[in-house]
Amino acid sequence: MSVLEIRNLHAAVEGTEILKGVNLTLRSGEIHALMGPNGSGKSTLAYVIAGHPHYTVTEGDILVDGQSVLDMAADERCKAGLFLAFQYPVTVPGVSVANFLRTAVSNVRGYTEKAAAAKNGNGHSGVIGSNLMPMREFRKELTEKMKEYNVDSSFARRYLNDGFSGGEKKRTEVLQMAMLEPKFAILDESDSGLDIDALRVVADGINKLATPDRGFLMITHYQRLLNYVKPQYISIFHGGRIVMTGGPEVALMLEERGYGWVEKEFGVAEAA
């Protein structure tokens, strides 16, 4: 079993503190939903966990299986088992989905490091693609995963997120998760901008990936994603910290009462 621990995490951007003492433990096999109003700092938490250089951690720690990741770059955190699905996935013209995934998978699974070691040891190198996962293996796995997660085979040849609809972008993120096989997936509002059909497809992909070997932290505003993906824990995020944690009843309470009572009970918070 793997464990992601966030201990008394404080983080700032351009001198302004946004995270103000976040504590959270996520274990393999668990789905933990994080809900809160706009500007509460939820997305900042996701970016800080993933290692976005724009944010500065001023106190606390983030650990994966007891090892701090604070000194790791974003790609090293990915190798350590962390994955971030963006609310607004980045468009990369000129880079196909297949080439992007082959490069990412090769880095995470160690193919690139092995090739570098062989080169330093005077082994053969210099052949284009020799530092990547063998094409035949990659194509076979990608084809299987695209079928399993309802991603059209034509996506492999398209440029990453270029001209994709909101639903297509989120499906591609699920495909990335399936290929990279992280220990922990942080989903930053994966339901944002989706119609009901796209939401169901994305939710189905998340449920398939929610195995006993993987933990999910789902950031969302609304109950609707939780109608399809059932978390064991739901926390309310307000003012840069978690102010309440419970079960599914928390989401139902928010759906009924909104977030106004959170502000009354825990104080007015500045927008992050």
With cut-offs at 50, 70 and 90, classify the pLDDT of residue 84. very high
pLDDT at 271: 47
Name the more confident of 13 and 193: 13
Q: State the average pLDDT for the chain.
A: 90
With cut-offs at 50, 70 and 90, classify the pLDDT of residue 126. low
Per-residue pLDDT averaged across 237-244, rounded? 93
Domain boundaries defined on the chain: 1-89+183-272, 98-163
In sequence order, the 6+-apart residues with CB closer than 8 A to the CB of 21 are 8, 9, 10, 59, 60, 240, 241
Strands 184-188 and 92-96, by their bridges, are unpaired
Give yes or no for residue 39 having a pLDDT over 90.
no
Q: What kind and span of H or E run contains 64?
A: strand 56-64
Distances (CA, A) of 178 to 60, 66, 108, 151: 31, 25, 13, 12
With cut-offs at 50, 70 and 90, classify the pLDDT of residue 118. low
Q: Give the residue among 94, 44, 50 at the shortest CA–CA distance from 70.
A: 50
pLDDT at 183: 97
Which fold does the domain 1-89+183-272 belong to in CATH? Rossmann fold (3.40.50)
CA 61/CA 219 separation, integer angstroms: 20
CB 153 within 8 A of CB 185: no
With cut-offs at 50, 70 and 90, classify the pLDDT of residue 262. confident
With cut-offs at 50, 70 and 90, classify the pLDDT of residue 17. very high
Please spell the DSSP secondary structure of 21-35, one letter per residue.
Answer: EEEEEEETT-EEEEE
CB 27 within 8 A of CB 1: yes
CA 4/CA 67 separation, integer angstroms: 9
pLDDT at 135: 95
CA 271/CA 88 separation, integer angstroms: 20
